[in-house]
């Protein structure tokens, strides 16, 4: 499942060079994908690259280019977004809000359904009174409102934290989860887990999201708003931490310092202003991305639409989340050249023993 079966369809995709965009492209085997990129072409079969900018009117294209593009596309998937917490509010809103408005303009002219990739965390303020929206989440919430008001037939998807492939952990580039593994391995994160051990961390593998997007392209009559989350299957923070503590040493053959929990405000009061400036720039980046990952911990499980989508679209059931995280850690260890030390520790089933 997850393959577009109609070979005549042309899908316009933004964010094709990103983690999720790449996973979607790898599953659009029978369709033609037109990808809007800033500079670097995407070298994949059945992919046509268009140089443009979602933050500009007509996507930075000439009127003739824009009209020609609208005449050839059958479905629009809007995955591009500014996700860094380090970007200014103005820059984030220009990319995420104005960008959504500009891509909707193309979908409207093309008469094509619109699939908008939002985020589950844009809605935390409504679900958790302790949560305060940042610029990224606020911009995605506003983008959703623009999609609803556009009059364009649409689907809104709200994934939680996207991790690597559920089968082998593979991912186009490392994200916060992998940087957490790196910092634990290097001993840079000896005490910082700025979250309650009773809170939850919701992850969803990139291939599950990509399968849903591709099934929606195939079933272009589907409309609605869907939560792509683990829901009640989300792991408590203590469980995720225990997996890191067991499997990073198992994968690397190196002992690690024990992790401890601290109040989240300690990070902003002490760690970021005092400790981080003394670290190399790349290490600072990894620490910040790892801490961003932990900032997505939640008091209660998120809503989920996966059972509904599994029935509606015939997509496969998401595998056990613990195993998905272990496979992601294994992918990190393999890419970093650490896996050899632990190859003999696999069980006969091919999976790492679960931590109890």
pLDDT for res 350: 41
Same domain, 134 and 172: no
pLDDT for res 352: 36
Kindly state whether residue 215 falls inside one of the protein's structural domains: no
Last residue of a domain, which of 99, 128, 159? 159
Tokens of 132: 């305060």
Same domain, 250 and 341: yes
Kindly state whether residue 175 falls inside one of the protein's structural domains: yes
pLDDT for res 340: 57
Same domain, 32 and 179: no
Same domain, 21 and 148: yes
Kindly state whether residue 206 falls inside one of the protein's structural domains: no
Kindly state whether residue 309 falls inside one of the protein's structural domains: no
pLDDT for res 46: 87
pTM (two decimals): 0.88
Same domain, 34 and 146: yes
Kindly state whether residue 47 falls inside one of the protein's structural domains: yes
Helix H, strand E, coil C: the string for the chain is CCCCCCCCCEEEEECCCCHHHHHHHCCCCCCEEEEEECCCCCCCCCEEEEECCCCCHHHHCCHHHHHHHHHHCCEEEECCCCCCCCCCHHHHHHHHHHHHHHHHHHHHHHCCCEEEECCHHHHHHHHCCCCCCCHHHHHHHHHHHHHHHCCCCEEEEEECEEECCCCCCCCCCCCHHHHHHHHHHHCCCCCCECCCCCCEECEEEHHHHHHHHHHHHHCCCCCEEEEECCHHHCEEHHHHHHHHHHHHHHHHCCCCCCCCECCHHHHHHHHHHHHHHHCCHHHHHHHHHHHHHHHCCECCCCCCCHHHHHHHHCCCCCCCHHHHHHHHHHHHHHHCCCHHHHHHHCCCCCCCCCCC
Last residue of a domain, which of 128, 159, 190? 159
Same domain, 90 and 34: yes
Give residue 263's domain range. 165-201+234-299+320-356
Same domain, 172 and 270: yes
Same domain, 61 and 176: no
- Which residues of the chain are modeled with pLDDT < 50? 1-6, 129-132, 341-356
- Provide the number of structural domains found in the chain: 2
Rounded CA-CA distance 282/287 in Å is 9
Same domain, 326 and 239: yes
Same domain, 152 and 277: no
Kindly state whether residue 4 falls inside one of the protein's structural domains: no
Kindly state whether residue 209 falls inside one of the protein's structural domains: no
Kindly state whether residue 239 falls inside one of the protein's structural domains: yes
Last residue of a domain, which of 136, 159, 182? 159
Same domain, 178 and 92: no
Same domain, 247 and 122: no
């Amino acid at each position: 499942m997850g393959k577009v079966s109609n070979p005549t369809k042309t899908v316009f995709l933004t964010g094709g060079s990103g983690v999720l965009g790449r996973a979607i492209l790898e599953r659009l085997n029978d369709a033609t994908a037109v990808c809007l990129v800033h500079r670097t072409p995407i070298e994949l079969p059945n992919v046509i690259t268009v140089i443009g900018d979602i933050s500009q009117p007509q996507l930075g294209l000439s009127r003739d280019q824009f009209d020609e593009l609208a005449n050839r596309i059958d479905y629009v998937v809007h995955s591009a977004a500014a996700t860094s917490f380090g970007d200014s509010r103005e820059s984030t809103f220009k990319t995420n809000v104005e960008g959504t408005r500009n891509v909707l303009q193309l979908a409207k002219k093309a008469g094509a359904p619109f699939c908008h990739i939002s985020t589950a965390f844009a809605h935390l303020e409504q679900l958790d009174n302790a949560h305060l929206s940042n610029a990224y989440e606020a911009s995605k919430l506003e983008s959703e409102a623009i999609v609803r008001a556009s009059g364009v037939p649409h689907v809104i998807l709200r994934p939680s934290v996207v991790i690597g492939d559920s089968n082998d952990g593979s991912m186009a580039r490392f994200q916060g989860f992998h940087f957490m593994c790196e910092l634990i391995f290097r001993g840079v994160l000896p005490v910082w887990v700025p979250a309650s051990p009773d809170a939850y961390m919701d992850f969803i593998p990139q291939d599950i999201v990509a399968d849903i997007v591709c099934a929606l392209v195939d079933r272009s009559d589907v409309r609605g708003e869907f939560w792509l989350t683990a829901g009640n299957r989300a792991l408590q923070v203590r469980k995720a931490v225990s997996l890191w503590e067991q499997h990073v040493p198992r994968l690397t053959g190196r002992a690690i310092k024990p992790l401890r929990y601290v109040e989240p405000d300690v990070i902003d009061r002490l760690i970021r202003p005092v400790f981080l400036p003394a670290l190399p720039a790349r290490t600072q980046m990894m620490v910040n991305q790892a801490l961003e990952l932990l900032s997505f911990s939640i008091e209660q499980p998120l809503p989920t639409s996966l059972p509904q989508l599994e029935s509606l679209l015939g997509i496969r059931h998401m595998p056990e989340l613990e195993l998905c995280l272990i496979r992601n850690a294994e992918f990190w260890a393999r890419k970093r050249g650490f896996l050899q030390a632990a190859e003999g520790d696999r069980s006969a089933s091919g999976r790492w023993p679960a931590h109890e």
